[in-house]
Every structure is written in structure tokens, then in C-alpha cells.
Amino acid sequence: MSTTMVPTTTTKKTVTWATTTVHEFELGHNPCSVPSTGGPGLGLMGKPISTHTTSVADRLGSPRSHEELYLAPMKRIERLRDLGFSIDEIAVFCIETNQARTERHESEQEYIQQMRQQQYEAQLMRQHMMQLEVQRQRQLYLQMHYQLQYQSQLPMRPRASSSSSSSSRDIVEPKVASRRDIHVIDNKRRRLSVEAMLN
């Protein structure tokens, strides 16, 4: 019997874009843009000055490097000066940018500390749960051990009960005898008292 293998072809899923829309903005003072270095923040501002749609083939190319997109602090100050901002205003922008950078760094450190605290608490909780599980397993083991001991001692219990019953009889009989002696003594006293009254 001959078997023929049918080749399976897998089709790779792809996504293609026909057009892309480009929005161009002016560069200016933007408090939301906080640089990692000193100097004022410079970013997109206002509404787009131009919008055009082109095909994707025209926009394909290698992206620009970080050095080409990066503006040094002095270049940003010069750009703001060209836009009409004074030195005092730029100084205020620098102070606000430094404050925002410091607050972001503090928020990041607080978040890291909070995550570490949560991880530490989760670790403590796991250790506590493991300890509880170990205690539970130990209690189950002791309970099974005691049950086995109890079952192994079950055949010896009738002898223990007979000995206990005989001992209880031994204990009860002296008590009964002592009560009879007291009753006899009381009868003798009554007879003596009656004889004394008659005489």
C-alpha cells in the first residue's frame, strides 16, 4: 500500500498600506517636552500648518538617527530667541523644565520603590502560605499516626476494661462493707439506748 504525502503550503500573512498622511507642525516652546539634558523644552506646538497624503512607496526610507533629531540646549535657546522670547522667559522655561524633570525622576523612583515593596510583600505572603501548608501537612501526618496507633491498640482494650472493672469492684466492695458496718453499729447503739431506758 503506497502512501503519498501531500505538501502543505503555509501562506504568510502580510499587511500593506496604500497611503500615509503627514501632518507638519511648527517647533516652539512646549512644556510637555522635557529633555533629558538642560535647557528649555522645545517641541511641536499649535495646530498642523500643512497636511498631505502620499503613497507609502514615497515615504519608505531609512529613519534619521538620534544625532540628526537631537537639538543641543544652546540651539533650542537660539530657536526660542528667534521666535521672540526674551532671556528672562527662557530662564523661566529652563527652571520649569528642570522642576518637571526632577518630579518625573522622583515619580519614577517612587514607582520603583512601590514595585519593590509589592514584590517583597508578595514574597512574604508566599513564605507564609508555604509555612501554613507545611503545618497542615504535619498535622495530617500526626493525625494519621495517632489513628494508626489507636487502631493498633484496639485488641488490647478488653483486657484493660476487665482489669478496670475488677479494680472498680474491689474499690466498691470495701465501700459497701463499710456502710453495712455503720448500719450494724447504729442498730447496736439503738438497742443499748433502749435497754438503758427500760432499766
Asked if residue 198 is part of any domain, the answer here is no
Asked if residue 137 is part of any domain, the answer here is yes
| Cα 75 from Cα 72, distance rounded (Å) | 5
| Cα 152 from Cα 8, distance rounded (Å) | 68
Mean pLDDT per 10-residue segment, the chain (199 residues) = 63 78 88 84 88 75 78 89 91 91 92 94 93 91 86 64 50 51 62 58
Asked if residue 192 is part of any domain, the answer here is no
Residue range(s) defining the domain that contains residue 144:
23-51+71-153
Asked if residue 163 is part of any domain, the answer here is no
51 alpha-carbon distance from chain centroid: 49
* Secondary structure (H, E, C), 44-95: EEEEEEEEEEEEHHHHCCCCCCHHHHCCCHHHHHHHHHHCCCCHHHHHHHHH
- Give ∠ CA 24-35-43 in degrees, rounded to 5: 20
Asked if residue 187 is part of any domain, the answer here is no
For residue 194, give the 3-state DSSP assignment: helix
pTM of this structure:
0.47
Q: Report the amino acid identity of residue 3.
A: T
| Cα 106 from Cα 112, distance rounded (Å) | 10
Give residue 176's pLDDT.
Answer: 47
Q: Report the amino acid identity of residue 57.
A: A
Residue found by looking up cell 500643512 in the block: 50
State in Å, rounded, how far the first CA of the chain is from the last one: 137
The residue count of the chain comes to: 199
Asked if residue 196 is part of any domain, the answer here is no
Residue found by looking up cell 493525625 in the block: 143
Asked if residue 86 is part of any domain, the answer here is yes
Contact 42, 73 (CB under 8 A): no
Look at the chain and report how many structural domains it folds into. 1
Provide the CB-side half-sphere exposure for 147 (13 A, CA).
Answer: 6
Asked if residue 27 is part of any domain, the answer here is yes
Give residue 177's pLDDT.
Answer: 47
| Cα 171 from Cα 177, distance rounded (Å) | 11
